[in-house]
Amino acid sequence: MLVAAVVLIGCLSLFNLLLTLAVARRSSQSTTSTTEPPANRLPDGSPLPEFTVETLEHGTIGRADIRGESVVGFFSTTCRPCRDQAPDFVKAVQSIPGGRDQVLAFVKGGGPAETELVELLAPVARVVTEPAGGSGASQEAFGIVRWPSYLDVDAEGRITGRETVDALSVPTTPSAR
């Protein structure tokens, strides 16, 4: 009788272990399929939204101040890929026709990382800073939910792509002004 009880307890323990492993495996499969960051809310082809923001050096600007082919970048100080890709963004836009007037960069956050990003981006872009935590002009008007994000804007003011920094289609001809 004792042997039968030990065998029964052993079988139940093995069954419990197998169930636990099956549940853990199913749980890990469902979490890996949902780790893709959400898409930004404005689809390609949308007109650049109406917005008004205060830049660090150029005063207040809005939708009407983005003329011709342009690039808009969105960075967060708490986002490691944002800090890593910022130098590549600078290289990609540094020779854009029209210069800084055709590039807008939003920096969300604060502290030393904000200062570092602003110093890097300011020579090639009009820079807007936003506080961390709240939703600012970039989140609301542009529908940004993923950082970093980049927008190509065509001459008609339509979003033509939400690309990686390597795939930005920086204009090579003078922009319409």
- Distance (Å, rounded) from C-alpha 144 to C-alpha 130? 13
118 and 107 Cβ atoms separated by less than 8 Å: yes
What average pLDDT does this structure show over 118-124?
97
Report whether pLDDT(26) > 90.
no
- Asked whether residue 8 falls in the same domain as residue 86, the answer is no
pLDDT at 67 (0 to 100)? 84
Does residue 118 sit in the same domain as residue 150? yes
Residue 11 falls inside a structural domain = yes
| 87 and 145 within one domain | yes
Domain annotation covers residue 176: no
Average pLDDT over residues 15-38: 66
User: Read out DSSP for 61-121?
Assistant: EEGGG--SSEEEEEEETT-HHHHHHHHHHHHHHTT-TTGGGGEEEEEE--HHHHHHHHHHH
pLDDT at 36: 66
pLDDT at 34 over 60: no
Q: Indicate whether 32 pLDDT > 50.
A: no
Residues 101 and 150 occupy one common structural domain: yes
pLDDT band at 33 (very low <50, low <70, confident <90, very high): very low
Domain that holds residue 31: 1-36
Q: Is 131 a member of any domain?
A: yes
Do 67 and 133 belong together in one domain? yes
If asked whether residues 64 and 102 sit together in one domain, one would say yes
Same domain flag for 32 and 108: no
Looking at the structure, tell me whether residues 150 and 63 fall in a common domain.
Answer: yes
Q: 21 and 88, same structural domain?
A: no
- Note whether residue 9 is domain-resident: yes
Let me know if residue 102 belongs to a domain.
Answer: yes
The token duo for 29 is: 């499969």
What's the whole-number mean pLDDT along residues 74-87?
Answer: 94
CATH of the domain at 94: 3.40.30.10
Q: Do the domain assignments include residue 74?
A: yes
d(CA 165, CA 144): 16
Are residues 9 and 70 both part of a single domain?
no
Whether 109 and 85 map to the same domain: the answer is yes
Residue 48 has pLDDT above 70, yes or no: yes
- Domain total in the chain: 2
Minimum mean pLDDT among 19-23, 65-69, 167-171: which range? 167-171
pLDDT tens string 90-99? 999 998 999 9
Does 16 score more than 50 pLDDT? yes
